[in-house]
Amino acid sequence: MDKRKTRFFNTTGPCNPEDHYMLPPEERLVGTQLHRYIGDKLYWVLHAPRQTGKTTFLQSWMREINAGDEAISCYVSVETCQGVPEAERAIPVICDAVRRWSEQYDLPVPAIEDETPQSRLNSILANWAKLVAPKPLIVLFDEVDVLTGDALISFLRQLRDGFASRSVGKFPVSIALVGMRDLKDYITAAKGGIPVNPGSPFNIKADSGTIANFHKKDVERLFAQRTTETGQRISPEALDYVYGQSHGQPWLVNSLFMRATMRILDADSTETVTIDHVREAREQMIQARETHLDSLGARLQDERVRWVIQAIITGETDRLLGRTNPDVEFCMDMGLVEWNSGTGFTIANPVYEEILTRYLNSAYHDSLPSPKTWCWQKSDGKLDMDALLREFQAFWQNNSEVWERQADYMEAFPHLLLMAFLQRVTNGSGRIEREYAAGSGRMDLAVEYRGDWNIIEVKLLRQGRSFEAIMAEGIKQTLGYRDSFFPVHASREAQAPCYLLIFDRRPDKPAWQERIKWIDAEGLTVLGC
């Protein structure tokens, strides 16, 4: 096996997915032409969400370049500048990083001249180019997205100052700036939100590329390496589930595989990995709230993220005004949101969807009364959804107004509280499948408990609409969701009970006795809340 392609997950060490991508990230680069960067002396940008393989690619490409005679390359992370917006402090730290990383990779270490921060980076890069001559110098700056304010502007201006003289022995012939976002977004932020103009400090970039997620066939190739090495196989249903839950996000793919083969099964087991193993691995991964997943929750406090995620949860994505909206672009660059012509705007994958939902409703979930106090279980242990939803109606009437005053995501508050309420019951004996129906003003839920399914649809009653109109629209959507969720030939499952919950969000909503409704209509139950 080609060692440069990174081995399969570490079967002896801890579960650390970001260190064990199995396919060369250069196979997944989009919009870049690596072979041109050295010969044509190009400066370029690589941006992609965290843990998609950027650092792995950079270090792999650096080693490949340095193994040949074409050039000298060095990876340099500027992450130590996080939270340092002043150029006077940040530029010396970046220069120290240049020396530290060059020494780590056994490359010539440039001297730092006694100059002002406004010219020190330019000077050290020029000195570095002299040291590696007669070979050209290539510098791969990682984590550039941590730079802000004057530090970012000074960093870019010094690179631009050296750009004109870039050549062997003079200045790096090619520089890559790598982070989560495209460079124009950093410049706009550093300039207080003012859009980039032609005179921006880094209008010299030649390309802006990104790293794509794995395709479905890539996921198959990943486990095929495991099969070759150990003989262990994976069922087609399990592979489909891994891809369906991750949408090919590399960290998630590797984490699901590793947990299924190293935690759910023994590391030396050759038992076939099934969909049940992967489902359990998914739940373990979510419960563990590993750093990558936990960091998603922190993003939800950003105001730019808040209104985009709320629009997706409530199904009102028409408010987002398309992919060119800066806040939407930001969420897509962060890897939180994706768009395609079939589904519109959605959370990037079902695992992220679950993580974000649990993060947002965790306060409600933890504060709800114990499920033991609810009359929601039938004598045979099955779920009595009628009783459970009547209990929810009572809880909503008694508590929602107080709880909503403390909510961060007020637009999505009904959805989040309902899901927290359901999760308190289903934990351990069931699961909730969610579908945020883009642009339809609704959210679909399928609740499984001990083998039985219930379909729940959530709609909001806004000012200017009537309850009757929303109910007629929602009944059609609910039955359509049930028919799409269950195969039409599965007659037993197709008869799963359906519930339509309509939350009155009008500012002049009527009194509670008029809002709380329970209506049987067209084979489903409509609840007014």
pLDDT tens profile 459-469: 999 999 999 99
**Residue with the two structure tokens 């005004």:** 321
Assess contact for 63 and 105: CB atoms under 8 A.
Answer: no
At 479, the amino acid letter reads L
* CA–CA separation, 503 and 104 (whole Å): 59
- Distance (Å) of CA 351 to CA 256, 257, 261, 283: 10, 14, 19, 9
3-state secondary structure 282-332: HHHHHHHCCHHHHHHHHHCCCHHHHHHHHHHHCCCHHHHCCCCCHHHHHHH
Instruction: Report which DSSP code applies to 270.
Output: -
Which stretches in the chain have pLDDT values below 70? 1-35, 182-208, 290-292, 371-374, 428, 439, 487-494
Residue 454 class from Cβ within 10 Å (0-12 exposed, 13-18 middle, 19+ buried)? buried
Q: Compute and round to an integer the Cα radius of gyration of the chain.
A: 27
Q: Residue 298 CB: number of other CB atoms within 10 A? A: 10
Write down the pLDDT at residue 197: 52
Residue 360 class from Cβ within 10 Å (0-12 exposed, 13-18 middle, 19+ buried)? buried
Instruction: Report which DSSP code applies to 445.
Output: E
Write down the pLDDT at residue 406: 85
Write down the pLDDT at residue 90: 96
Write down the pLDDT at residue 470: 95
b/e 416-452 (16+ beta carbons within 10 angstroms → b): bbbbbbbbbbbeeebebebbbbbbbbbbbbbbbbeee
Q: What share of the chain is helix, strand, coil (3-state, %, to 5)?
A: 50, 15, 35
Query: SS3 for 70?
Result: coil
Write down the pLDDT at residue 26: 57
Write down the pLDDT at residue 58: 86
Closest among 267, 422, 438, 302 to 357, alpha carbons compared: 422
Query: SS3 for 44?
Result: strand
Q: Is the pTM of this model over 0.85?
A: no
Residues 6+ apart with CB under 8 A from 305: 299, 327, 330, 331, 334, 336
